Amino acid sequence: EESFQLQKAPAITGPQSGAESWPHLKVDFLQPENRRDAKKRKPTDPNYDPRTVYIPEDFLNKQTPAMRQWWVLKSAHFDCVLFFKVGKFYELYNMDAVTGVNELGISYMRGEWAHSGFPEIAYGRFAGILVEKGYK
């Protein structure tokens, strides 16, 4: 059995380090007053499903293929932390990356959008930690 010891990378400084600066916090369709579920229902609708979120097609069309796939998955599972498999790593994006950094002690990767991740061998441990803390 392989053993793996995750070491925290040096903290990224600059605009990436401040949670208030992440672009996903400024996306119009995620603002509380604009939020809709996947079926475009407002939170005031009795059938509103807070587990989903509507992602506009024009936004999706501006994404890379991988990020489009992530947003489509996130739309259907907005209440879950998505571990997105990329090669031998699991990557977390946007609000999930912030959760990963805050709850798992992993570091942000460089870039404009919030992004963090870990090697696949740590999957069971990190998934378990989040479940124990009440995340899906």
How would you write the pLDDT of the chain (136 residues) with one tens digit per residue? Answer: 444 443 343 344 334 444 558 888 889 999 999 999 999 999 999 999 999 999 999 999 999 999 999 999 999 999 999 999 999 999 999 999 999 999 999 999 988 899 999 999 999 999 999 999 999 9
| Token duo for residue 82 | 């998505």
Distance CA 106, CA 46 (A): 38
Domains along the sequence of the chain with CATH: 17-132 (3.40.1170.10)
Model pTM above 0.75: yes
In 3D space, the residue among 128, 53, 33, 123 whose CA is nearest the CA of residue 95 turns out to be: 53
